Structure 1
Amino acid sequence: MTDSAAVSDLTTPLPPVPGSTVPTIRRRLATMVYEGVILFGIVFIAGYLFSTLTQQRNGLTHHNVLAAWIGLVVGVYFVWFWTHSGQTLPMKTWHVRLVDADGAPVTTPRAVLRYVLAWLWFLPPLALHPLLGLAVPQTLVIAAIWFVLWASTALFNTHQFLHDRLAGTRIVAIAR
């Protein structure tokens, strides 16, 4: 695939999915906020289990393993829901579904790829924190700017976020 073919794939409108429309960016961001509330509970339970099973007495003990564990648990949560119904609870509430570029259910490898690419919402600015020795307020400002820039890719990218286009997936609104 040439570079121009890759660029045209990212900007070419996708064919419509029967019985669905493209949800607004506001609706998708609202789904993400609700997802954050659900993830708070999942991460809390995963952290509690890790701390209990490893007899962790200090938050700095095994913190890298804990981070990997939580990343795995969150990944399993998303991949399982995306491959079984195409919807997490917040997606059901906001009447949106994840499908592949053709409108078919998402396969496990594609769901894993989407999960990994979705970390691009957060990891680039957070990686700058230790690399540049930034203070927390500076990191938060950079993260906020990055978040807005990443979200704005949907405005220029056929109303789908960049990680969806790269993963070959899309979010569609479904009838209520």
Structure 2
Amino acid sequence: MPTFDYTQFPRAGLFRRLASWVYDFLLAMAVYMVAGAVGFAIFGIFYKLGLIDMSGHEHLIEVQQSSLFYSSLIYLWNLAWVAYFFVFFWVKSGQTLGMKAWRLRLQNTDGSLITRKTALMRLLPTLLGIGNFWLIIDRKNKQSLQDKVTNTEVVLLSLAANRGRL
């Protein structure tokens, strides 16, 4: 398998990043829904074990929806799994499935893969892809807000460099 100098690839523009974002958004929604189903199943198990009281509600979902504590736990659980989805792929290969489809790779500016800490730091400015719109302001450097904050870059890989990754 050939090796590539990842510092030589050009930085990706806004269109490719947004196209990749659409793919990843759909995947993230699927992860969110599966995590929600698993989270609610765990909630149901806690009820069966007697750890959760129905508090006069007829259905378990009403208990969850009427409690800020339970709702917050389930939503945080779901968001944690979505965050894990992105962090896992960014750290493992520099590419989520959407990035792979559009031949994008997230990396440090020296071409190396990012660390978990860097991936976690990218999550907030990446939120819903809003940080990518910084590319409209910074057309010359092609760095999004999350790229600037974490000293990373998203590059456009060649077909050969993208083949067999992930």
TM-score, normalized by the shorter chain, greater than 0.5: yes
Q: Let me know the Cα RMSD of the aligned residues.
A: 1.9
Aligned 8 A contact 2:86 2:96 in 1: yes
Could you say which residue in structure 2 is the equivalent of 1:118?
A: 126
Which runs of 4 or more aligned residues in structure 1 lie more than 4 Å from their structure 2 counterparts after TM superposition?
A: none
Could you say which residue in structure 2 is the equivalent of 1:88?
A: 96
Residues 104-115 of structure 1 aligned to structure 2 (within 5 Å): 104-115=112-123
Aligned 8 A contact 1:117 1:167 in 2: no
> Cα distance, 1:42 vs. partner?
0.6
Could you say which residue in structure 2 is the equivalent of 1:13?
A: none
Structure 2 counterpart of 1:152, from 105, 111, 133: 133
Could you say which residue in structure 2 is the equivalent of 1:175?
A: 158
What percent identity do the matched residue pairs reach?
A: 26
> Cα distance, 1:47 vs. partner?
0.3
Aligned 8 A contact 2:135 2:144 in 1: yes
Structure 2 counterpart of 1:57, from 54, 61, 64: 61
> Cα distance, 1:49 vs. partner?
0.5
Residues 51 and 82 of structure 1, relative CA distance in 2, 3 Å threshold = same
Which amino acid in 1 is paired with 2:158?
A: A
Residues 172 and 70 of structure 1, relative CA distance in 2, 3 Å threshold = same
Could you say which residue in structure 2 is the equivalent of 1:3?
A: none
> Could you say what secondary structure the match of 1:69 adopts?
helix
| Alignment size in residue pairs | 133
> Cα distance, 1:94 vs. partner?
0.5
Aligned 8 A contact 2:121 2:150 in 1: yes
Q: Distance in 2 between matches of 1:37 and 1:151?
A: 17
> Could you say what secondary structure the match of 1:170 adopts?
strand
Could you say which residue in structure 2 is the equivalent of 1:138?
A: none
Q: Distance in 2 between matches of 1:116 and 1:109?
A: 12
Q: How does the TM-score come out when normalised to structure 1?
A: 0.69
Residues 1-176 of structure 1 aligned to structure 2 (within 5 Å): 17-18=7-8, 20-55=9-44, 56-58=60-62, 60=65, 61=67, 62-119=70-127, 121=128, 147=130, 150-157=131-138, 158-176=141-159
> Cα distance, 1:164 vs. partner?
1.5
Task: List runs of 5+ in structure 1 lacking aligned partners.
Answer: 1-15, 123-146
Q: How far does the alpha carbon of each residue in 1:100-130 deviate from its partner, in whole angstroms, 9 at most, with x for none?
A: 12221111111111123323x58xxxxxxxx
Residues 151 and 76 of structure 1, relative CA distance in 2, 3 Å threshold = closer
Which amino acid in 2 is paired with 1:159?
A: K
Q: Distance in 2 between matches of 1:151 and 1:92?
A: 17
Computing the radius of gyration from Cα coordinates, the structure with the larger value is 2
